[in-house]
């Protein structure tokens, strides 16, 4: 399959990940934020500079099962499909409020399941619309977009992993984080508009370590 985008570090495929995965060589880590199977829609706010937008996540209308993904893996939103998570592993927690608790309906934290054994860990990083610890002034372009700092933190648990795979790439946050860390990365995404956004993000210079 011809890549949608490719550079020295990153490769993007515009396709269904189930079709692409059998064609790939072994990767060192799957790090992804898949559709949770909750039919989530973002109702506006500070998303994509369009306060009236209502955007759905592709594939989020069917239950998600991570069994087809290679290990090791870190999969975000696993609390929404915990019945299909195998025994073992551990949990990673992202504290989005970092001690600041406004009166909101959104969750104070998000959970990821890590397939390797170990103790549960927490990452504190404030992220509330345009009020953020990082990427301030940069508009969100995906309804479930996460900070690059969070994905870099996840990769820190796998310092030897030199090839990172995100089979539900979205706007390319995982790939951007991996490229900044000078790691090879592969992203797969169904929606072409996000492939284009991710490609633009990846064309920026690698940040100095």
CA–CA dist 74, 129 (Å, integer): 24
Q: Give 86: exposed, middle or buried? Use CB within 10 Å, 0-12, 13-18, 19+.
A: exposed
Which pLDDT belongs to residue 42? 54
Which pLDDT belongs to residue 101? 66
Which pLDDT belongs to residue 46? 44
CA–CA dist 168, 130 (Å, integer): 24
- Among candidates 187, 104, 93, 197, which has minimal Cα distance to 142? 197
Element (H, E) at 186: strand 184-189
Both tokens assigned to 110: 């998000």
Which pLDDT belongs to residue 40? 55
**Going from the N-terminus, what domains does the chain have, and what CATH number goes with each?**
5-202 (3.40.50.150)
Q: Give me the residue label for tokens 């500079």.
A: 49
Q: What is the DSSP letter of 13?
A: E
Both tokens assigned to 88: 């073992």
Low-confidence ranges of the chain (pLDDT < 50): 44-54
The three state secondary structure string of 90-155 is EEEEEECCCCCCCCCCCCCEEEEEECCCCCCEEEECCEECCEECCCCCCCECCCCCCCHHHHHHHH
Which pLDDT belongs to residue 98? 81
Give tens-digit pLDDT for 150-193: 999 999 999 999 999 999 999 999 999 999 999 999 999 999 99
Radius of gyration of the chain (CA): 16
Which pLDDT belongs to residue 209? 52
- Whole-model pTM? 0.86
| Maximum alpha-carbon separation in the chain | 47
């Amino acid at each position: 399959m011809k890549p949608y985008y490719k550079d020295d570090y990153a490769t993007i495929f515009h396709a269904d990940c189930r079709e692409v995965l059998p064609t790939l060589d072994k990767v060192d880590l799957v790090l992804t934020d898949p559709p949770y199977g909750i039919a989530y829609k973002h109702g506006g706010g500070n998303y994509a500079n369009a306060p009236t937008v209502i955007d759905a996540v592709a594939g989020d209308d069917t239950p998600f099962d991570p069994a087809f993904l290679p290990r090791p893996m870190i999969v975000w939103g696993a609390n929404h499909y915990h019945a299909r998570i195998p025994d073992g592993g551990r949990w990673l927690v992202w504290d989005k409020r970092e001690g600041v608790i406004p009166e909101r309906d959104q969750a104070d934290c998000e959970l990821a399941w890590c397939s390797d054994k170990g103790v549960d860990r927490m990452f504190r990083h404030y992220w509330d619309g345009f009020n953020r610890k990082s990427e301030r002034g940069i508009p969100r372009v995906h309804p479930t977009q996460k900070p690059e700092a969070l994905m870099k933190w996840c990769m820190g648990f796998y310092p030897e992993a030199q090839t990172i795979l995100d089979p539900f790439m979205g706007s390319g946050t995982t790939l951007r984080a991996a490229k900044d860390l000078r790691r090879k990365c592969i992203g797969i995404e169904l929606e072409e508009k996000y492939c284009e956004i991710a490609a633009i993000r990846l064309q920026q210079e690698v940040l100095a370590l």
